[in-house]
Amino acid sequence: MEMKRKLAGCGITFAGIVLAFSAVFFSSGTRMVSRIEDATKEAETVFLERYFAGEVINRSAITPQNLNEWISSNLRSRPPLPFDVSMCWKPHHRIILQGDESSREIQICFECDLFKFESSQRPIPRSWKKQFRSLFATHGIPATTPNDLEIEAARKNSAEKAGDGQSAPASS
């Protein structure tokens, strides 16, 4: 009888831990999505970029409203995990939220399926992976790491623009 009580007590404790973890897991991920939405609302311009070592390979501008609609439609279904196990973390894609006096970025690594907003780096939830890839593809930006030819072309383009006194990034 005493053993049954101890086992029941352990079961209740375990269930409580699982419930607490679940609450932290879902509220943390939901807060991340809310922070991204708030940052998007403050932005005046949004850029989707594919880059390598400081060289912008592809760039496309979208409206903050379009990004917010995309977030509401695609990212609410499953919040990200509140932790990550870093793999390669070599992001080559980002969403830049440009405001009046500041900018914020969402960095994305499609190789290890992690993303980072502000100081929070998280795994991309399975249900988001296709959505992030589609967002970039819809704007003509492949969700792949730039190849050597693309990097060289971007460097050449940057050098030419620097020679002309322009500072605009490469685009395609």
Could you report the per-residue pLDDT of 113-141, keeping only the tens digit for each? Answer: 899 998 888 888 888 889 999 999 999 99
12 sits in which H/E element: helix 2-42
- Residue 27 is predicted with a pLDDT of 37
pLDDT digits (tens, 9 = 90+) for 37-52: 899 999 999 999 999 9
Low-confidence ranges of the chain (pLDDT < 50): 15-28, 170-172
- Residue 119 is predicted with a pLDDT of 84
Q: Which of 47, 39, 43 is nearest to 168 (CA)?
A: 47
In order of 15, 26, 90, 120, 128, the CA distances from 83 in angstroms are: 21, 12, 17, 8, 16
- Residue 33 is predicted with a pLDDT of 83
Strand ranges of the sheet holding 55-62, from the earlier edge strand across to the other edge: 55-62, 45-52, 93-98, 103-109, 114-117, 120-123
- Residue 32 is predicted with a pLDDT of 80
- Residue 7 is predicted with a pLDDT of 58
pTM over 0.85: no
